[in-house]
Amino acid sequence: MPMRSSQYLLSTKKETPASAEIISHQLMIRAGMIRKLASGMYTWLPSGLRVLNKVTNIVREEMVRAGALEILMPMVQPADLWQESGRWDEYGPELLRLNDRHKRDFVLGPTHEEVITNLVKREVSSYKQLPLNLFQIQTKFRDEVRPRFGVMRSREFIMKDAYSFHLTQESLETSYQNMFRAYCNIFERIGLSYRPVIADNGSIGGSMSHEFHVLADSGEDAIAFSTESDFAANVEMAELTPSNSAPDAPQGEMHLVETPKATTIAELVEQFPVAVEKTVKTLVVKASDSCESDLIALLVRGDHELNEVKAEKLDQVAAPLTFATEEEIRRSIGAGPGSLGPVNLPIPFIIDHSVASISDFAAGANIDGKHFFNINWQRDVEPGESADIRNVQAGDPSPDGNGVLEIKRGIEVGHIFQLGDKYSQSMNCGVLTESGKHQPLSMGCYGIGVTRIVAAAIEQNHDKFGITWPDAIAPFNVAIIPMNMHKSHRIQEAANQVYNQLLEAGIDVLIDDRKERPGVMFADMELVGIPHQIIIGERNLDEEKVEYKNRRSGEKQLMALNDIVGFVKGL
RNA sequence: CGGUGAGUAGCGCAGCUUGGUAGCGCACUUGUUUUGGGUACAAGGGGUCGCAGGUUCAAAUCCUGUCUCACCGACCA
């Protein structure tokens, strides 16, 4: 739809609002795309909505092309469905619960597995109706602990969620691959630099899972890439194999050292002549029922970070992973968290693979204010079980054996899961097979954060003047900027002629017919990020010419007035 | 939920220590000016100082409570 700026709500701002931390949030406010209503809740203004609708249309078209059928489910859902699936108790405070006038329990839908499973259970009764893939594009609500970064992590947001239903795992895998390709098509059409990565399933359950990330420094997730292959995984999921190298031979005798001012690895390394790679951190978490102790210690090298997703998957560790309080640690170990280590540790412990292969290392003595130095496995303490429990770091070997890993930041804009029968079992959703037997269905689920894509696109496409939209999702594709249109009939005529021709050609054009100075118009059109500008001024019009300017490259060229529409149409 | 900080005009902020006419920049309105990169000048409109209570002759300012927002942390498909 074309538009005249004098009849439009441009709502641009010169100043950056204080509360906006990241560039996309700042630019979305400055360019008049969104306004905050309350924490994590935003109104979409005309320019923002134009972009959002373009993204939505691409997502919808590609989903339909991939064979999915669009439906629309209620945003408010009855609590009994959530009780049936078990997530009423599992989901926690992120699930906004509310009552109707009869005091019946409802939730604001953060996702729709329950509703769709209930629907398919009622509507589908034969294997002949499978496979089936249903999707919707709809508002979700998650009561995030800390909404931030504008629509990047808001409480209310728009999501495309699709759910597929299958008789067999093979069929599920086919649909999963199909959705994988559809997602690639979507992000390619939008014009984003993205990567699919191996991901954790989290609380949604199931087995296989990929996230789609837009690469950006401001991303909240860390992604591990191989330098040599196309391996890519969320750092949460990137595995490490134990190194084959045995620890070096002990160099010195283990000895106890007074370390009153060292309660962290950083302090220890600063105050004593020990390399951080030769230190061990001891973290204490709640143990599971299968463990004889209430608590269990996890040991990682001083320069490594515990990977909570990996740790939680260990049999001996209670899920969800819960760190012991200082009080609990003192009660069972007799020392504070700053002085723990494997020697004389009264609770069971698991060491990271990388801890198993070091020698002459330093760790707490389980006595406040004291550390052991030159600890060696076997000689001084039994190493016990080792496991992969740390985050990968840049330079670690890639899990597929090719090259080493590098770490980049990403924004999660899509996530696909093979759910299996988690919901169809608990909610009794199945069909009769060919042999007349009742069988629960296999499910896949596939999400895209539609509103988040808009913010992610800006993180990837901006410069000092404002947004540099990819053509596919720009609010307008062409801006006409007439100089002194209100004093010159020639300019007015030329501008309107170009405007009408573009209108007829079906191009999204915005003509800036405000009575503003040129500088104001240029600045606004660049802030809003319209990819192509046509500048019409007296000087060039004397020669029947206008100027074309590319927003992204800044390139300008003079063109004949009569050629400009054809030129723009060809872009 | 813990820590820190902030709520004064649409936005960004000063004023609060030392209680006494509520201010500045941007934006907005009107006029003149300027006209290929956020012009200049002048005039003007707009605020129960987050809310409630207290102290005081007098509270934006001091005290108490409360709400909201932001940042850090924990949490999170």
- Tens digit of each residue's pLDDT (9 = 90 or more) over A424-453: 999 999 999 999 999 999 999 999 999 999
Confidence of residue A207 (pLDDT cuts 50, 70, 90): low
Residue A311 (CA) to nucleotide B8 (C1'), in angstroms, measures 50
Tokens of A426: 């608990």
Note if the bond before A320 is cis, omega within 30 degrees.
yes
Strand B, nucleotides < 7 Å from a protein CB: these are: 1, 11-13, 25-27, 34-39, 68-77
Nucleotide nearest A481 (Cα, C1'): B36
Higher-pLDDT residue of A97, A530: A530
Nucleotide nearest A466 (Cα, C1'): B38
Average of pLDDT values for A264-276? 84
What is the residue type of A390? R
Tokens of A34: 């969104």
The pLDDT value given to residue A202: 61
Residue A465 (CA) to nucleotide B8 (C1'), in angstroms, measures 32
The answer for residues whose C-beta is within 8 angstroms of residue A24's C-beta and 6 or more apart is: A149, A150, A152, A218, A455, A456, A458, A459, A462
Nucleotide nearest A211 (Cα, C1'): B77
The pLDDT value given to residue A204: 55
Single pTM value for the model: 0.90
Interatomic CA distance for residues A219 and A216, integer angstroms: 5
pLDDT tens, A364-404?
898 888 899 999 999 999 888 888 888 888 888 888 888 89
Higher-pLDDT residue of A502, A147: A502
Nucleotide nearest A320 (Cα, C1'): B75
Nucleotide nearest A520 (Cα, C1'): B38
Residue A183 (CA) to nucleotide B19 (C1'), in angstroms, measures 64
Contact A262, A271 (CB under 8 A): yes
The pLDDT value given to residue A206: 60
- Judge whether residue A495 has pLDDT over 70: yes
Q: Is A35 left (phi over 0), alpha (psi -120 to 50) or beta?
A: beta
Least confident of A12-26, A461-475, A481-495: A12-26
Confidence of residue A463 (pLDDT cuts 50, 70, 90): very high
Comparing every residue's Cα with the C1' atom of nucleotide B39, the nearest one is A517
Nucleotide nearest A146 (Cα, C1'): B75
Phi, psi of A202 (to 5 degrees): 60, -150
Output the CA–CA distances (angstroms, integers) from residue A495 to A505, A510, A526, in the order listed. 15, 11, 19
Higher-pLDDT residue of A141, A207: A141
- Judge whether residue A509 has pLDDT over 70: yes
Least confident of A162-176, A271-285, A492-506: A271-285
Average of pLDDT values for A127-150? 92
Q: What's the mean pLDDT when you consider all of chain A?
A: 90
- Judge whether residue A473 has pLDDT over 90: yes
Residue A392 (CA) to nucleotide B11 (C1'), in angstroms, measures 44
Interatomic CA distance for residues A132 and A70, integer angstroms: 11
pLDDT tens, A100-120?
889 899 999 999 999 999 999
Long-range Cβ contact pairs of A175-179 (< 8 A, separation 24 or more): A175/A131, A175/A133, A175/A444, A176/A208, A176/A416, A176/A418, A176/A444, A178/A66, A178/A67, A179/A66, A179/A133, A179/A416, A179/A444, A179/A446
Residue A478 (CA) to nucleotide B38 (C1'), in angstroms, measures 21
Residue A371 (CA) to nucleotide B22 (C1'), in angstroms, measures 62
Helix (H) or strand (E) holding A255: strand A255-258
Comparing every residue's Cα with the C1' atom of nucleotide B74, the nearest one is A145
Residue A513 (CA) to nucleotide B25 (C1'), in angstroms, measures 28
- Of A322, A264, A256, A269, give the one whose Cα is nearest residue A294: A322
Report the b/e string of A58-89 with b at 16+ CB within 10 A. Answer: bbbebbeebebeeeebeeebbbebbebbebbe
Start-end of H helices in A66-126: 79-85, 87-90, 113-123
Start-end of H helices in A308-357: 308-312, 326-333, 353-356
Residue A25 (CA) to nucleotide B70 (C1'), in angstroms, measures 14
- Judge whether residue A203 has pLDDT over 60: no
Tokens of A8: 């439009």
Q: Is A361 left (phi over 0), alpha (psi -120 to 50) or beta?
A: beta
What is the residue type of A52? L
pLDDT tens, A538-547?
989 999 999 9
Residue A54 (CA) to nucleotide B57 (C1'), in angstroms, measures 65
Contact A321, A355 (CB under 8 A): no
Residue indicated by tokens 């054996």: A401
Confidence of residue A275 (pLDDT cuts 50, 70, 90): confident
